[in-house]
Amino acid sequence: MENEQIKNENNSSNITFGSIIRRERKKSGKSLKEIEKEMTVKVKKVKDGKEVIEEDALITASYLNRIENENRVNVSFNLVCLLIKKFNLDLIEVFKSFGYGDIIANNMKQNSIKQDDIETILKETNFEAPIIIDGKEEKKVLTNNEKDMIATILNDVFKYGISNEESIVYVLTKLLNDMDCYKKSRKRLADDLKKI
């Protein structure tokens, strides 16, 4: 009972790794056998003194079925990583399913970037952004003015996220105007680059 309470505190969603895998496999419309086949690799082996190439399943349909049905809960880290990669799983959800969601949350806090940091990073980095020159999309470094515009647009997006019904029209109008200024700046840059 005590372990169950600890698990529930660390894993509020109570979703299991097996149910995540089942959900993603069904979403892909593939059978257990199809996943086994897709996760089969060719390996070199020595048989009777000769080197042969054989197929080796990284996971069998039977084993995958046991994971999905919670009959196999102690899945190796290597296999968990292979399944994360195969199904492009959300790491936070996977860690939560094993009761370790706090690891990711703590790591995210340590690696978090403040709003002011974004502006500094923008100003100190040569960001390349798409631009259309002679009908072809290319990448060109943002001008200092465009970097300021991007920072303003990001601030507008943040304000939109907390706006109420009374201010939403104002915030959206400002966001659209700022985006339009950025678009015009990219167009001017493209025109200037054509002249060179």
**pLDDT tens digits for 77-88?**
999 999 999 999
Same domain, 175 and 148: yes
pLDDT band at residue 195 under the 50/70/90 scheme: confident
Indicate the SS3 state at residue 70.
Answer: coil
What local confidence, expressed as pLDDT, does residue 111 receive?
A: 64
CA distance 191 to 96: 51
Query: Does position 6 have pLDDT exceeding 60, yes or no?
Result: no
Indicate the SS3 state at residue 54.
Answer: strand
Same domain, 156 and 100: no
Domain tally, the chain: 2
Query: Does position 11 have pLDDT exceeding 50, yes or no?
Result: no
Q: Could you say which of 54, 77, 110 is where a domain stops?
A: 110
The residue segments making up the domain with residue 169 are 115-195
What local confidence, expressed as pLDDT, does residue 8 receive?
A: 39
